[in-house]
Amino acid sequence: MEDVQHVVVFRCPERYAAWPANYGIWGWGNEVVSGFTLGFPSLEGGFHSRDKDRPFLTMQSRTYDGGLTWESELAPLLAPGGGSISAREHINKIYEPASEGINPPIKHPGTIDIQGENFALLFGRTGLTAGSESWFYTTNDRCVTWQGPFLFPMFEQSGVSARTDYLIDVDENSNKLSLLLTATKPNGNEGRVFYAQTTADGSNFEFCSWLREHPSGFDIMPSSVKLPSGLILTAVRCRTEDETRDYIDLFKSEDNGFSWELIGTPVDQTGIGGNPPALLSLSDGRLCLIYGYRNFPFGIYAVMSSDNGVSWSDRISIRTGAGNHDIGYPRAVEVNDGRVLIYYYFNDNVEGERYIAASIWKPSAT
């Protein structure tokens, strides 16, 4: 039996709360911050039971005790066009380009203090396909305030659909941010994952490589870790070209992101519609990959690796019993006592509200 405790982060019968993986998670010991989209429910919303004619907001949650209790508030940031960030595909409203509405992204004014112990980075986006734009925010006070939105380049792509996935490199030879993000394919559809870098001043972003330049279906929503050896591992949400299977692939780079190799498929099925990975490198040296499973039994699962992703355990059930597929999109972080804090959205039955939950899990030693 797994050692797991489930808690409610945010729940309201009159609201639809979802999609933490569109934002980020940042941890400072037992203080952890993450985010979600807040809208209104509708059973006629299709795959997701949300009302596409009513506004969405971007919310932010914080815990000081490793996930036992939470405070949620409107995220303290400016959204281009107003309303929410990273949720326009769920709204029927027609928006102007990010540069033409209110709160347009601006050029970053100078140094990004990536060495600050309270630093965090957040990406936002307008959409998923051709024409989608992305921007970023920074904070140096543990997400109490966010600076931005700041301009992010298109890298000559028809669309860039960034979620937050970055690595910080600070040593005597390096002071940079490594970014793993999603762009459109040549036909304008989503998507394929690329690696980019910026120096700490944030003035120049350099495209470095594709993880898989020509996926048969799509590759989106990377989640990455860098091991002490320098090996970069990135888990990617994937779908076959005929849309019959959703799964998670794992890539590695041994040269700081300039070339990539597919290691394998840690999760061969994530259910109808798919779900993104949350990849962690634990303090005991193991890898942990968490994901939502959108087929019956609907729930949150994990797999573990003790050999840097070459082989993986059988799936571990963190939480089951959801009412249907409209769940998941996890973010995760290890907290002070070696427990894994998993932050996701869930529902108890088909007609019930979608809410934000957290599971506090102590992985077994073997």
Does the pTM surpass 0.85? The reply is yes
Compute φ and ψ for 196, nearest 5 degrees.
Answer: -135, 165
pLDDT, residue 171, reads 66
Kindly report the CATH class assigned to 3-349.
Answer: mainly beta
Number of H helices, E strands in the chain: 0, 24
Compute φ and ψ for 249, nearest 5 degrees.
Answer: -100, 155
* Alpha helical stretches, state H, 107-227: none
Residues whose CB falls within 8 Å of the CB of residue 95, separated by 6 or more in sequence, listed in order: 81, 88, 101, 126
Determine the Cα–Cα distance for residues 305 and 311; give it in Å rounded to an integer.
6
Half-sphere exposure of 221 (CA within 13 A, CB side): 25
pLDDT, residue 347, reads 98
Task: Retrieve residue 188's tokens.
Answer: 């304008």
User: What single-letter DSSP state applies at residue 288?
Assistant: E
Q: How many CB atoms lie within 10 A of CB 16?
A: 26
Residues 82 and 57 sit within 8 Å (Cβ to Cβ): no
pLDDT, residue 2, reads 76
pLDDT, residue 201, reads 65
Q: Which of 86, 156, 159 is nearest to 129 (CA)?
A: 159
Radius of gyration of the chain from its Cα atoms, rounded to whole angstroms:
19
Q: Kindly give the parts of the chain with pLDDT less than 50.
A: none
Residues whose CB falls within 8 Å of the CB of residue 223, separated by 6 or more in sequence, listed in order: 165, 234, 235, 236, 276, 277, 278, 279
User: What single-letter DSSP state applies at residue 34?
Assistant: E
pLDDT, residue 202, reads 67
Domain coordinates in residue numbering, the chain: 3-349
Q: Please write the tens of the pLDDT for every residue from 106-132.
A: 999 888 888 889 999 999 999 999 999
